[in-house]
């Protein structure tokens, strides 16, 4: 998905997340870390479920 932020861009905004975490927690952490609109849109589009680690988040974004 070429419109999605790169793996590293997403990961740098998820450093403070305590996993497992739901979509809302992940989005809030990214907002608090200053994520740009592209990152926030990608995270807000995630399925609403629990994610076990940052890799699961990135895999879900990549589709």
Closest CA to 54 of 13, 3, 1: 13
pLDDT in tens, the chain (63 residues): 445 556 788 889 998 899 999 999 999 999 999 999 999 999 999 999 999 999 899 899 888
Query: How far apart are the C-alpha atoms of 62 and 6, rounded to whole Å?
Result: 9
CB atoms within 10 A of CB 10: 22
Residue 1's pLDDT is 43
Residues 5, 58 contacting (CB under 8 angstroms): no
Q: What is the pLDDT of residue 7?
A: 78
pLDDT score of 41: 94
pLDDT for 3 equals 54
């Amino acid at each position: 998905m070429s419109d999605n932020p790169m793996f590293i861009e997403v990961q740098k905004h998820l450093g403070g997340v305590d996993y497992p975490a739901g979509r809302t927690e992940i989005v809030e952490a990214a907002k608090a870390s200053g994520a740009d609109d592209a990152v926030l849109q990608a995270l807000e589009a995630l399925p609403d479920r629990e994610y076990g680690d940052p890799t699961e988040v990135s895999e879900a974004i990549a589709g």
